[in-house]
Structure 1
Amino acid sequence: MFLSVAEVVDTPAMRRGEPEIVVGGAALDAAVRWVHVSDSPGVARLLDGGELLLTTGAGWPDDPRQLREFASRLSGVGIAGIVLELGARQPTVPDAVVDVCAREGIALVALTREVKFVAVTEAVHHALIAAQTAALRERQHLHELFTALSLQGAPADVIVAETARAIDAPVLLENLAGELIAAEYRGEPVPRVLAQRATAERVPVAARGSRWGTLLALPGPESAAGRLTALEQGATALAFGCIADGGDAEWSLLAQRTVIDDLLGARFVDAGDIDARLRAGGFELRGRRCHGMVARGTGSIGELAYRARQAGFAVVAARAGEDDVTLLSAPPSIELDDATALRIAGADRAVFLGPPADDVLGLLASLRAARDLADSDRADEGARVRRVGDRPLERLVATLRDDHRLHEHSQRMLAPLVRYDAERRGDLLDVLGALLAHPGNRSAAASASHLSRSVFYQRLALIGDLLEADLDDGETLAALHLALLARRRLTS
């Protein structure tokens, strides 16, 4: 709602006096609350702070000691700055005033030409009133925005993003344990933003005597409504959300889902960013044994995370379609054996484990491999654990999943079947998958395809004819298995 001294000096009315900065620097950023015109040496008793004093110095004392006392009194009341119009009474700025202003950090400006002080005051007061009006409008807009978000039940990450947009600076949400729940980085490097958490401006997320967390804001430009106002509005909306949801239990799930979505999705662009976000949530990779895990079947993601922590693992987990997708981190002394994996996932669930990792890229590969393994296994066999490390072709495809040669191999081998299924709504790819899943037992393969044995054999004969391949040849089956696995990865 205020102008800085620099902005006042840059107004047309002031520029007509050809101003010269005598004491500037950071002092020019001081906020001007009002403009006061006076030549009286006792003017300090009439000021409340934040005023810009316009004067000709006609009533100033001549004695340097008295001038220092006069300037010190102005500093004591918190004056924003002094603008001295030079003339016959004060042809130069007194050294005593310059010394005090330089020492106290008070802006001091000399006007070398005569100006109408009334024109300056009118211009500045008009600008201040306009700024106050704009601030009131912006505060009303923020109030309406965050009230609407509260009434709509907007999730915490949306409220955080809107708060960051309102102040044009990164904003973070922490729970009471200091764990990062949501963040909007505004294009700033994630590690640098997270490193500044300790020095950020902080507003509690609290209401009705309960506190759930803290909203943090990094430095940024002043907004018309004021940074603090925007932060308080955002914190209030977050608090109302906690009241409506019965607590902050959803926050942790939100934080973990966001990390997993970004790790697997298009927003994953920098390993350092993901690493910083994981560490901010208490998930360490360095010196730890980490795995990507997929759990299939009925179960609670919250209970899974609780059991993982009870077993000594740091955990990030989210629901993805039919599955719980999980990142696990433990010290080398804790082994993720089959019994532990099933205990974490829950009873009667299928568990798919990626290979161990100790960095972000390795963890991403582990999670992708676990998901690929889960996608290739749709059998409902109850509680069991399957590991990518026990499936050599799965491991090879996971390693080469981004190699264009693998995809070219898949397209070349399976093109006739893909074309046949597309043109006739066929099921040849599914039949081939069943055969490869049960290479030594075609009765089991037919059952998995939900086809009679005679129809299943007819489908196999058609596949062999279309591919011009011998489906009893081990090398051919291996090549087809590799092609089918690669296709599933490409289309998953």
Structure 2
Amino acid sequence: MLPTVRAILDLPVLRAASPTVLGGAQRLDTPVRWVHVSEILDVGNLLSGGELVLTTGLELEKFPEESASFISSLEAAGAAGLMVELIGQRPRSRQALEKAARSASMPVVMVEQRVRFVQVTEIVHRMIVAEQLERVERARDVHEAFTVLSLESADTQRVVEQAAAMIGASVVLEDLSHLVLAYAGQRVSTTELLQDWERRSRTTPFPAHTARSGPEQWLQAAVGVRQQVWGRLVVPMPPAALDADEDMAIMVLERAAQTLAINRLADRDQRELSHHAQAGLLNALRQPRGLSEAEALARAGSLGLKRSSYYVPLVFRSALPAWGSPILPVDPFAGQQDERELLERLAKGLKSSAGTALAASIQSGSVGMILALPARQQEETTLQVLAGAAAGQSAEVTPAWIIGVGRMQATLLEAAAGIDEAAHVAESAATLRNTGKLYFRATDVRLRGLLALLRKDPRVQQFVESELSAVLQADAEGKGEYLELLGLYLGSGGNKAAMARSGYLSRPTLYARLRKLEDLLGVDLEDAESRTSLHVALLAHLIRGQ
């Protein structure tokens, strides 16, 4: 960082002269870009801002009444400060300078002993040049580090960790739906970092360029290429909490965002980040190593798992067409594709249930899941939905996936520990003859099914945010009635009379609120195309949030 006026006054060459700050003490931490020595009063037009002006004040001795205008001209030119050397009996200069300095906004310093200005200039300029060289070297280090990560196609977590280490602060990567894809904590607990993340994120505007915004002053950078932005990198900490200066933090964040975008282009599978994030968390929950329940819930919540009363561990084990002969897939790539398709079907199936889940491949041929349920009575129904989702559209008697279910637990970590039990159940069941039909339900392939398949697509997320930004913003601010009203209105097919007859609201109140809703959304709700667009966006939002 550039030396400040305070740091310069602390140099031995000046400290020996016992400098006195006559005014502007509140600006002593102003950075100094250069040192300028001048004996003329009309020096403002020679400055470009950030200079510390040194003078012997001989001209002020001749024209003490010019002290105030002299200081004002330096302030107008953006000078960092003024140092005046007053030696001997110079009462007129002193009194005029002291009076003018009282109202100065920049530091005005007086020294009454001889100071070698050339020595001060040499030392400060050396400090400035050294800082500039250091900044160039830091920029080179940042460039080299992220270039290596790009060439190695480093995973998302590694890039985020590198950015956090260089900035010296926590960094979070989220998608356009405000779900956390990766994070690296610095000096704060995971619980504190990710607590209530979606609400905090929605109330933080997305600036057009890398900058700070929102009530918590988050520093953020867009992640993506040109118009294909799919997320943002966030430093949810104030400038004072950073090890690096603000410019350095911005440079690191932008370079990290570029690396993530480049690496994403190398792998077009846009579902991979979310799957990878859930797999990493699921493995961490199975081997917690000091992970607390609160931290586990915060991390899981940032990936869409709702805090619930009960948690059930499940494992889906692949099987041969011939019932009772479990094997690993012959083609590992085909097996991975089957697992991805199963994860998509399970996620889509969960949208029509009361549960949320974390699900990921735990080994070749096996997919683990932690299912969160608000009530014990919903376990059987939800398992039937999952069995149907696992079966997909197949009409074959022999299931492609065998489901092992662990014991229901009251905590997330206990359920994660039960994954091994569920895996054992699945492997054991695979050795049995067909003892009966698995529960299954046909997957919804209409609009809800399509949106469930596309819910991770940034274009769909961007569409949802564009259509519903106003009501989602209001919901984040505690005005959830607009989102509810929109859902009821669209669910009734835009029939206001039917809504009024249902007893939801009196007819005048309902019409008044619908007019407010139209003003908030900026659309005509009587227009069929507008209703269709809003309905699709709302369905996509609800499917993502379940």
TM-score, with normalisation over the residues of structure 2?
0.62
Aligned partner of residue 339 in structure 2, secondary structure: coil
1:114-145 deviation line (CA, Å, top 9, x unaligned):
21111111111111111111211221121111
1:98 counterpart residue number: 101
> Is 1:378 aligned with 2:427?
yes
**Whole-Å separation in 2 of the counterparts to 1:86 and 1:206:** 59
1:62 matched to 2:64? The reply is: yes
Q: Report the secondary structure of 1:262's partner residue.
A: helix
SS in 1 for 2:379: coil
Q: Which whole-Å CA distance do the structure 1 matches of 2:87 and 2:79 have between them?
A: 23
Instruction: Report the CA distance shift for 1:191/1:363 in structure 2 as closer, same or farther (over 3 A).
Output: closer
Partners of 2:149 and 2:187 in 1: CA distance? 23
Q: Say if 1:47 and 1:247 are closer, same or farther in 2 by CA, change over 3 A.
A: farther
Structure 2 residue matching 1:329: 3-state secondary structure: strand
Q: Deviations over 1:200-245 (max 9, x none)?
A: 2111112243212111123302359822111111111011011111
Matched, 1:351 2:354: no
Q: Secondary structure at the match of 2:378?
A: coil
Counterparts in 2 of 1:2-401, with a 5 A limit?
2-22=2-22, 27-60=27-60, 62-63=64-65, 67-88=67-88, 89=90, 90-91=93-94, 94-101=97-104, 104=105, 106-194=106-194, 198=204, 199-217=217-235, 218=237, 219=239, 220-222=242-244, 226-246=248-268, 248-286=270-308, 289-297=310-318, 299-300=339-340, 302-304=343-345, 306-312=347-353, 313-322=355-364, 323-332=366-375, 335-337=378-380, 338-346=383-391, 348=399, 349-357=401-409, 362-375=411-424, 378-379=427-428, 380=430, 381=432
The one-letter code matched in structure 1 to 2:423 is: A
Question: 1:319 Cα shift?
Answer: 1.6
Q: Which residue of 2 aligns with 1:425?
A: none
Task: Tell me if structure 1 keeps the 8 A contact 2:314–2:422.
Answer: no
- Is the alpha carbon distance of 1:193 and 1:339 closer, same or farther for their aligned partners in structure 2, counting shifts above 3 Å? closer
**Residue type of the alignment partner of 1:52:** L
| Superposition deviation, residue 27 in structure 1 | 2.4
Cα deviation 1:15-49 (Å, max 9, x = unaligned): 33233445577623322111122243332222211
Across the aligned residues of Structure 1 and Structure 2, the Cα RMSD in angstroms comes to: 3.0
Distance 1:131 1:369, change over 3 A: same
| TM-superposition CA deviations, 1:174-221 (whole Å, max 9, x none) | 111111111111232223334686422111112243212111123302
One-letter identity of the residue aligned with 1:62: P
User: Which amino acid in structure 2 is aligned with residue 374 of structure 1?
Assistant: A
TM-superposed deviation, 1:146: 0.7
Instruction: Give, in whole Å, the separation in 2 of the partners of 1:184 and 1:248.
Output: 21
Task: Tell me, in whole angstroms, the C-alpha distance in 1 between the residues paired with 2:23 and 2:407.
Answer: 65
Q: 1:378 aligns to what SS in structure 2?
A: helix
Task: Supply the distance in 1 between the matched residues of 2:48 and 2:350 (Cα, whole angstroms).
Answer: 58
- Describe the shift of the 1:50–1:136 C-alpha distance in structure 2 as closer, same or farther (beyond 3 A): same
Partners of 1:86 and 1:93 within 8 A in 2: no
For residue 384 of structure 2, what is the amino acid of its counterpart? A
Partners of 1:334 and 1:35 lie apart in 2 by: 76
Worse overlay, 328-337 or 314-323: 328-337
Distance 1:11-1:250 versus aligned 2 partners, 3 A rule:
farther
Larger radius of gyration: 1
Distance in 1 (CA, whole Å) between partners of 2:170 and 2:424 is: 38
**Compared with structure 1, are the counterparts of its residues 352 and 334 closer, same or farther at alpha carbon in structure 2 (3 Å cutoff)?**
same
Amino acid of the residue matched to residue 246 of structure 1?
Answer: R
What is the alpha-carbon distance in structure 1 between the residues aligned to residue 70 and residue 178 of structure 2? 50
2:166, 2:244 within 8 Å by CA — same for their partners in 1? no
- For residue 192 of structure 1, give the secondary structure of its aligned residue in structure 2: helix
Conserved? CA contact 2:404–2:424, under 8 Å: no
Amino acid at match of 1:200: W
Return the alpha-carbon distance in structure 1 between the equivalents of residues 96 and 184 of structure 2.
49
SS of residue matched to 2:258? helix
Residues 49 and 79, structure 1, Cα contact 8 Å, conserved in 2: yes
* SS of residue in 2 equivalent to 1:141: helix
Q: Is the 8 A contact 2:23 2:107 kept in 1?
A: yes
Distance change in 2, residues 1:94/1:25 (3 Å): closer
| Separation in 1, partners of 2:69, 2:370 | 67
Q: Which runs of 5+ in 2 are unaligned?
A: 205-216, 319-337, 393-398, 440-546
User: Once the 2 structures are TM-superposed, how far is the Cα of residue 152 of structure 1 from its aligned partner?
Assistant: 0.8
Identify the structure with bigger relative contact order (alpha carbons < 8 Å, sequence gap 6+).
Answer: 2
Q: Is the 8 A contact 1:171 1:215 kept in 2?
A: yes
1:138 partner SS: helix
Q: Is the 8 A contact 1:44 1:77 kept in 2?
A: yes
Contact 1:305/1:315 (8 A) holds in 2:
no
Q: Is the 8 A contact 2:68 2:97 kept in 1?
A: no
Distance in 2, matches of 1:367 and 1:98, equals 68
CA apart distance, 1:262: 2.3
Give the secondary structure class of the aligned counterpart of 1:94. Answer: helix
Q: State the distance in 1 between where 2:58 and 2:403 align.
A: 87
Q: Note closer, same or farther for the CA distance 1:25–1:266 as it changes in structure 2 (3 Å cut).
A: farther
Report if aligned partners of 1:291, 1:328 keep a CA contact under 8 Å in 2: yes
Q: Kindly provide the amino acid, as one letter, of the partner of residue 368 in structure 2.
A: V
What does residue 490 of structure 2 align with?
none
- In the other structure, the counterpart of 1:482 is none
Q: Which residue of 2 aligns with 1:479?
A: none
AA aligned opposite 1:315: A
In the alignment, the residues of structure 1 paired with residue 350 and residue 25 of structure 2 have an alpha-carbon distance, to the nearest angstrom, of 53
Letter in 2 for 1:178: H
Tell me the distance in 2 between the aligned counterparts of 1:365 and 1:178.
Answer: 28
Cα separation, 1, equivalents of 2:231 and 2:81: 40
Change (3 A) 1:334 1:123: farther
String of CA shifts for 1:340-390, please: whole Å, max 9, x gaps.
Answer: 2313444532223344456xxx111123224224235522147858xxxxx
DSSP 3-state at the match of 1:31: coil
Judge which range, 225-234 or 368-377, deviates more: 368-377
